[in-house]
Structure 1
Amino acid sequence: MTKSIKNNLITYSILLCVACVGIFYGNAIFSNFKFLRVWEVTNILILLIGIPFLFFQEKAKLPNFWQDNITHKKRFLFPIAIGIVFGILDVLVFKSILHPEPYQELPPFVQPFPYSIFIYISGAFEVEVFYRLIPLTLILLFGNWYKDGEYYNTFFWAGAILTAIREPLEQLPEGNVLLLTYSLFTGLLMNFLQAIWYRKAGFLATLSIRLGHYLIWHILLGVYIQYTDLLR
């Protein structure tokens, strides 16, 4: 086993540990909050499905998690900044424009702080495992094998589009045409950029984009609602 694969496994294990801590924490405070979302052990077991794909990043011509020739700016800083931009846009549209009045209780897209840190790190991790790590690794493994990789780029762009479509179609909100268009466009664009950054800087880069978005949209917005709206 190479050092790069060991680092992939260690990082994946740390993310699993964060999810486990979130389960214990969530169960400890469950009786204090309505609509608290708490993972179960089955969520952790399902995430184990992603482990075999940690061994095939290089064979799929994807960067390993901590590849030496990729800077932390590419791996973390730029991707997080991209996610933050999408998060700010969502707050402006869904909170400032569509729901400017104070909330009377925590809406379903946020959770109480600081528990929200654990549930949304785990949620971002889960999404990226099943939206990027597994499908793109499979697609690009095949693309690198088929005719000795002659059509690798075609496989990548097809995989990027297919993985970008899934989330916005699954999470289309109810509303008018403009709201649906905004949600579909931003969802497609963010997921498409995540595929590009996965190829460019690895799994931690695509995860960082989602974490940047969740930081604004789920965590900090939740803090604002919890400690401002609900205390009025």
Structure 2
Amino acid sequence: MIQTESHTALIPGRNSLLIYAGFVGLGLLTWLTGLYLTGQGAAGLRIFGPEEIGLIVIGGAGVWLAPRTGFPDLLDARVPDSQRFLFPFLIGLGFGAADIAVFTLVMHPAPVTGLMPFMQPFPYSLLLYGSGALYTDTLYRLIPIPVLMWGAGNLLLKDTRNEHLFRGLALLTSLIEPIDQLITDTPELALYSFMTGYAMNLLQALYFRQSGFLAGLMIRLGHYTLWHILFGLWVELLN
């Protein structure tokens, strides 16, 4: 766990703020691209809109508070790039491969003849699911965990870096997505959906704590790369 009391470690670095501003720009680009393609006659596109972009903007508060509550900055020099990017991305790929296996072998063993609801046309899918991953992790981690740690730490615990508080928040916030997206086709699939969803969200929270927000985000990007983007591209190429 990276802990420091130096003043410079309590504020996000300039490059980290520029990266996060770029994330906001990515959301804007995704929105405008979706509107343009729809205007050109593309049907069935999911639009990443102003509400999603607004939430990412609010996530800047999480970037600002994260170093003050014991999380590494986005580009903390003490975190190896392998821990920030490579290892979490590989973990995400593993979750994506498991989902594809379950879908193709159990849920939909017949050949997929068109894009499923969780797919979008390539290369628009790159923008949509890249922005979608950022939105989801901002909603479930970047905003609630540092903000609640800052508030409770100042008002109740007098310790904004309290590890017990972080663990409780990690366990609770990791429940939200798997419950919201629970697959209820069969009890076995429901169990698989909940267990893998909870495991991935909890790992994201732990990587966020140990290696910064980008590390947790890379897990989701790895999952989305296989499950949403490459799986969708494969279906398009076959049909």
* TM-score using structure 2 length: 0.89
The 5 A counterparts of 1:74-85 are: 74-85=83-94
Structure 2 residue 118 is matched with structure 1 residue 119: no
How many residue pairs match? The answer is 229
Bigger shift: 178-187 or 10-19? 10-19
- Tell me, in whole angstroms, the C-alpha distance in 1 between the residues paired with 2:217 and 2:234: 24
- Tell me, in whole angstroms, the C-alpha distance in 1 between the residues paired with 2:88 and 2:202: 13
Poorly superposed stretches of 4+, deviation over 4 Å: none
2:135 is paired with a residue of what secondary structure? helix
Gaps of 5+ in 2: 1-6
Output the amino acid matched with 1:136. Answer: I
Structure 2 residue 173 is matched with structure 1 residue 163: yes
- Tell me, in whole angstroms, the C-alpha distance in 1 between the residues paired with 2:137 and 2:41: 30
- Tell me, in whole angstroms, the C-alpha distance in 2 between the residues paired with 1:47 and 1:121: 13
How far is the alpha carbon of 1:5 from its aligned partner? 3.4
State the partner residue of 1:218: 228
The 5 A counterparts of 1:1-232 are: 4-30=12-38, 31-142=40-151, 144-145=153-154, 146-149=156-159, 152-228=162-238, 230=239
Output the amino acid matched with 1:70. Answer: V
8 A contact 1:65–1:203 mirrored in 2 = yes
Residues 174-206 of structure 1: per-residue CA shift (max 9 Å, x gap)? 300000000000000000111100000000001
How far is the alpha carbon of 1:143 from its aligned partner? 5.5
How far is the alpha carbon of 1:144 from its aligned partner? 4.5
- Tell me, in whole angstroms, the C-alpha distance in 2 between the residues paired with 1:118 and 1:142: 34
Output the amino acid matched with 2:173. Answer: T
How far is the alpha carbon of 1:102 from its aligned partner? 2.1
8 A contact 1:19–1:122 mirrored in 2 = yes
8 A contact 2:149–2:161 mirrored in 1 = no
1:39 is paired with a residue of what secondary structure? coil
* TM-score using structure 1 length: 0.92
- Tell me, in whole angstroms, the C-alpha distance in 1 between the residues paired with 2:24 and 2:194: 30
8 A contact 2:142–2:213 mirrored in 1 = yes
Output the amino acid matched with 1:194. Answer: Q
How far is the alpha carbon of 1:148 from its aligned partner? 4.0
Bigger shift: 81-90 or 52-61? 52-61
Counterparts in 2 of 1:150 and 1:64: CA distance versus 1, 3 Å: closer
- Tell me, in whole angstroms, the C-alpha distance in 2 between the residues paired with 1:172 and 1:226: 26
Taking only the aligned residue pairs, the percentage that are identical comes to 34
How far is the alpha carbon of 1:25 from its aligned partner? 1.9
2:149 is paired with a residue of what secondary structure? helix
8 A contact 1:79–1:208 mirrored in 2 = yes
- Tell me, in whole angstroms, the C-alpha distance in 2 between the residues paired with 1:99 and 1:189: 24
- Tell me, in whole angstroms, the C-alpha distance in 1 between the residues paired with 2:119 and 2:152: 39
